[in-house]
Structure formats: C-alpha cells, structure tokens
C-alpha cells in the first residue's frame, strides 16, 4: 500500500497522477497556491492530529476541500495533509527566504516601528521594495535585509544551521523556530543548505544516503537514526537533536545519547548525507 503521507489522495479526491492506481470519487490536477499564514499545521485529517508544519510561502497543490480545510501536497517534500484553507493565497512568485532563526515583520522600514508578526527560518517571501536596511514584501511589510537571502543562495553547513535553533522547545511535528521535532530539525537544516529532505525520520533514513558500516567513526554532519528518532553528529563525541529528554534542541554526549536511547530502541543507521 502506498504511503499516505506521500500519496495525494484525500480519501475522496486524488491527483491525476494516481489514475489507474487507486479508486477515487474524482481525479484532479489540483490548483497551486502558497501559504500566506506565517505557519500552518499539516493535519492527518480535517481537525485531526498534526503530522508536520508548513512555513509561510510554501507552494502547495490543493487537491480537495472539506468545509474550512483544504487537502494539499507540498511541492518541497511531497508531504500530504489537511490545513485551514483560510491560510492559503495566490501562487505568486517568491524571491527570498528567511536565513536566520526567526525574524519580525515590521509595519515600516524602521526598527522602532511596530511589528506585525514573525516568520521562521526558511519561510519564503516576495520582496518588491528596498529602503535603508529593510526589504519590503508584496504585503507592504518590512524585514531586516540581514535576515533574508535570495532564493538560490544557501547556507554551507547544515549543523551550523541546526545549532541556531538550540533551546527551541520540542514540538511533535514541529518545523519552526517556535517548536521543532527531531526530523523537523534535520529538514530545516538541510533545506537551508539547498538539499531535498523528506519530513519524517523514517523517510529521511531511506532517502538521505547509504548506511555506513557499523563502527564507522562519526563526523560532524553525519546523521544517526533510531526507530522514530534522528540526531545530527555535531562533533566526534557529541550529537545535536530535538529530543523529548530535554524537551528542546540540545547537545548531548554521543555515547550517552546512544546508551540512553538504546534502552528503548537500538541505533538503526549511520548516514553521511550526500
């Protein structure tokens, strides 16, 4: 059976790419929209549990709608789910992404002006103006230029990106500086470096590179996987992960983490992302 997380089928409507593969009430090419909300929960069912989160500017194929919820597939990683349709907007072009842990949206190009909201690392925006050290969005709001990078300009070190989120509260399914889980931390860091990365740890384990032989010396930038968990190797003797032990993004001695987690599940893979 196809993985429902990656299969664009709402249970009623399906994407046309699935014709001949599943029984659906209807098939559609969907309509492309972008997330206008700063952050949105991607739900397993309308008003159901959160599986992942989406960031402002995410490009989404809308396949179905039920009441106030829309069923979408994210262009970036193919993840499917339901979200509040009120957070969607036109499929306009974006030009920049947030390159820091978080930034404010200001009502004027002045650091003393009132903030109108905030955006997380990797949120995408359309920049249409520039004044002083601020860049203006298509919505008439302003972001410090230091906090933005043009699309196509990426960070060089995913672990350094992940380290900017130290102390972020742990949140199951979280993908932002307000709250993040283990796989969200990996995805945010790799995407900031221009790498394609799935949303969940089991998908990451299968997609990010070959398994290294048992006993391979860990290096900064490696990933360690357990069933349901993933951690960055930040140094030869240390890991960095969003974890339920500290309920935050934190460093932990590598051997201690392996021993502690092994009480519940053994290490399943050691990967050096390609």
Are 46 and 100 contained in the same domain?
A: no
Residue 82: strand, helix, or coil: strand
What angle (nearest 5°) sits at the alpha carbon of residue 242, between those of residues 44 and 78? 35
Residue 254's φ and ψ, nearest 5 degrees, are -60, -50
% helix / strand / coil in the chain, to the nearest 5?
Answer: 15, 40, 45
Are 19 and 67 contained in the same domain?
A: yes
The residue among 41, 71, 89 that closes a domain is: 89
Are 70 and 26 contained in the same domain?
A: yes
- Helix H, strand E, coil C: the string for 26-41 is EEECCEEEEECCCEEE
CA distance 197 to 186: 8
Are 267 and 162 contained in the same domain?
A: yes
Residue 266 lies in a domain: yes
Residue 7 lies in a domain: no
Are 29 and 82 contained in the same domain?
A: yes
pLDDT at position 226:
97
Residue 208 lies in a domain: yes
Q: Are 253 and 241 in contact (CB under 8 A)?
A: no
Are 136 and 69 contained in the same domain?
A: no
pTM of the model: 0.96
Residue 5 lies in a domain: no
pLDDT at position 234:
98
CA 60 to chain centre: 13
Residue 6 lies in a domain: no
Bridge partners, residue 97, by sequence: 124, 149
Are 233 and 163 contained in the same domain?
A: yes
- 10 Å CB burial of residue 142 (0-12, 13-18, 19+) is buried
Are 166 and 191 contained in the same domain?
A: yes
- Give Cα separations from 100 to 64, 92, 222 (angstroms): 34, 23, 22
Q: Domain of 112: which CATH number?
A: 2.30.30.40
Q: Are 52 and 81 in contact (CB under 8 A)?
A: yes
pLDDT at position 133:
98
Are 71 and 174 contained in the same domain?
A: no
Q: Are 260 and 211 in contact (CB under 8 A)?
A: no
Residue 50's φ and ψ, nearest 5 degrees, are -75, 135
CA distance 161 to 111: 25
Bridge partners, residue 70, by sequence: 65, 83
Minimal CA–CA distance to 239: which of 227, 221, 226?
A: 221
Q: Domain of 195: which CATH number?
A: 3.90.1720.10
Domain membership of residue 85 as a residue range: 13-89
32: Cβ–Cβ under 8 A, 6 or more apart, which residues? 59, 60, 61, 62, 75, 91
Residue 77's CB is within 10 A of a number of other CB atoms, namely: 19
Are 122 and 61 contained in the same domain?
A: no
Q: Are 238 and 252 in contact (CB under 8 A)?
A: yes
- 10 Å CB burial of residue 248 (0-12, 13-18, 19+) is middle
Give start and end residues of each alpha helix (H) in 130-175.
158-163
Are 266 and 200 contained in the same domain?
A: yes
Q: What is the mean pLDDT of each run of 10 residues along the chain (274 residues)?
A: 92 97 97 98 97 98 98 98 98 98 98 97 98 96 98 97 98 98 98 98 97 95 97 97 97 96 94 93
pLDDT at position 2:
87
Are 104 and 59 contained in the same domain?
A: no
Give me the number of domains the chain comprises.
3
Residue with the two structure tokens 């994210």: 74
């Amino acid at each position: 059976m196809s993985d429902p997380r990656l299969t664009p089928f709402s249970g009623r409507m399906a994407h046309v790419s699935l014709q001949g593969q599943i029984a659906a009430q209807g098939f559609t090419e969907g309509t492309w929209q972008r997330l206008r909300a700063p952050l949105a929960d991607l739900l397993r069912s309308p008003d159901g549990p959160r599986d992942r989160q989406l960031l402002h500017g995410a490009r989404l194929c809308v396949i179905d709608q039920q009441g106030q919820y829309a069923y979408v597939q994210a262009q970036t990683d193919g993840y499917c789910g339901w979200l509040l349709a009120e957070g969607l907007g036109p499929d306009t072009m974006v030009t920049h992404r947030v390159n820091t842990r978080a930034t404010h949206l200001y009502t004027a190009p002045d650091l003393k002006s009132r903030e109108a909201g905030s955006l997380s690392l990797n949120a995408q925006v359309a920049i249409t103006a520039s004044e002083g050290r601020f860049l203006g969005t298509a919505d008439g709001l302003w972001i410090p230029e230091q906090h933005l990078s043009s699309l196509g300009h990426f960070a060089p070190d995913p672990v350094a990106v992940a380290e900017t989120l130290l102390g972020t509260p742990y949140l199951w399914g979280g993908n932002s500086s307000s709250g993040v889980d283990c796989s969200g931390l990996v995805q945010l860091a790799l995407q900031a470096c221009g790498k394609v990365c799935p949303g969940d740890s089991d998908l990451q384990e299968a997609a990010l590179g070959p398994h290294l032989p048992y006993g391979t010396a860990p290096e900064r930038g490696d990933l360690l996987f357990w069933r349901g968990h993933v951690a960055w190797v930040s140094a030869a003797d240390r890991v960095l992960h969003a974890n339920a032990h500290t309920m935050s993004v934190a460093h932990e001695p590598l051997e201690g983490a392996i021993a502690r987690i092994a009480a519940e599940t053994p290490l399943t893979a050691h990967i050096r992302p390609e």
